[in-house]
């Protein structure tokens, strides 16, 4: 059934007027709300959606005494399609590939990047400085590269599985993050792009009043963000090395795990929070798009 014409017009107008950064933020918000909503359903159904590996065995078949109702049965059907847990490496391969793809788009002056930054720059307020654009790009590439390295050379092979929905959501998350790290630097990015000087329509944006909001150098909050990211990045690697050294699946008790149950996930949230601070446009403490991504990571 076709949508009513007025509704189609509203949707088309919203898509035309909405900045690309808002679409990134919307995905992160929807992912976070969805993950938090799962906490409201019964534990047995919740476990089917969230647990994987050794924790998922009991949830898959239902713990003794569970009331297996229509919700549990429905969720069990939805989560029936499982993929190898080793597919986690797809997330980081996609992250690294996306970083390389957008770098290629920039250096080659390709139309996709041009279209996105032109649309974003037209409505953007304060922008990231050029040092920030490249710094956070490199930091994100380092995170994706390190995690990909760990998947192949640090973590132990596992026969556990995960729901294909987890895999799809994670893949989209990292692809979205590959845009989120630079989208709020579109005005400066626009200025730096090699071929934009010859594009009159794009060039007209370079001398607008809003361009004065672009900053160079790093503020105190940005330097703090870099320090937080670096700490989280290094500590997460130590956590993964320790987990890989365990002889069997047991509760870790060394390093940060003495104080935090899920230290490696905590470090993940920490480094993304630091990235959001390091990428903060002038006059702000956080990059709005990246802080949404950090919140999404925290909720999931």
Tens digits of per-residue pLDDT, 71-83?
Answer: 888 888 988 999 9
**pLDDT for 65 beyond 70:** no
**Distance separating alpha carbons of residues 31 and 38, to the nearest angstrom:** 11
Query: Could you report the per-residue pLDDT of 194-233, keeping only the tens digit for each?
Result: 454 444 344 433 334 444 444 456 788 889 999 999 999 9
C-alpha distance from residue 150 to each of 65, 86, 143 (Å) = 40, 12, 11
The larger pLDDT score, comparing residue 266 to residue 17, is at 266
Fill in the DSSP letter of residue 281: P
Percent share of the chain, pLDDT over 90: 39
Q: What is the average pLDDT across 169-186?
A: 93
Element housing 161 (H / E): strand 161-163
C-alpha distance from residue 277 to each of 86, 89, 212 (Å) = 31, 27, 21
**Distance separating alpha carbons of residues 290 and 8, to the nearest angstrom:** 30
pTM of the model: 0.83
Looking at the DSSP bridge assignments, the partners of residue 267 are: none
**Distance separating alpha carbons of residues 181 and 161, to the nearest angstrom:** 30
Percent share of the chain, pLDDT over 70: 77
Q: Which is nearest to 20 in space by CA: 95, 102, 75?
A: 102
Q: Where are the alpha helices (DSSP H) in 154-282?
A: 164-183, 186-192, 200-203, 220-245, 263-278
């Amino acid at each position: 059934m076709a949508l009513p014409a007025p509704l189609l017009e509203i949707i088309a107008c919203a898509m035309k007027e909405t900045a690309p950064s808002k679409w990134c933020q919307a995905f992160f918000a929807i992912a976070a709300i969805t993950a938090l909503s799962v906490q409201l359903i019964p534990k047995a159904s919740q476990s089917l959606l969230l647990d994987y590996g050794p924790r998922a065995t009991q949830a898959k078949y239902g713990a003794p005494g569970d009331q297996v109702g229509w919700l549990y049965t429905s969720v069990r059907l939805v989560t029936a399609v499982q993929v190898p847990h080793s597919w986690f490496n797809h997330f980081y391969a996609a992250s690294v590939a996306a970083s390389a793809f957008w770098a290629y788009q920039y250096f080659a002056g390709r139309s996709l990047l041009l279209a996105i930054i032109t649309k974003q720059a037209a409505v953007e307020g304060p922008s990231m400085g050029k040092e920030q654009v490249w710094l956070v790009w490199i930091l994100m590439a380092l995170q994706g590269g390190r995690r990909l390295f760990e998947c192949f050379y640090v973590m132990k092979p596992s026969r556990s599985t995960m729901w294909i929905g987890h895999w799809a959501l994670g893949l989209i998350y990292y692809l979205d993050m590959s845009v989120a790290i630079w989208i709020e630097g579109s005005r400066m990015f626009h200025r730096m792009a090699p071929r934009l000087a010859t594009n009159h329509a794009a060039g007209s944006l370079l001398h607008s009043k809003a361009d004065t909001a672009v900053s160079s150098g790093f503020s105190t909050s940005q330097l703090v963000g870099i320090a937080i990211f670096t700490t989280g990045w290094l500590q997460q690697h130590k956590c993964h090395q320790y987990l890989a050294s365990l002889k069997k699946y047991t509760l870790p008790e060394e390093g940060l795990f003495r104080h935090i149950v899920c230290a490696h996930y905590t470090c993940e949230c920490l480094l993304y929070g630091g990235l959001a601070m390091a990428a903060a446009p002038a006059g702000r403490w956080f990059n709005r798009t990246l802080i949404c991504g950090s919140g999404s990571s925290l909720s999931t």
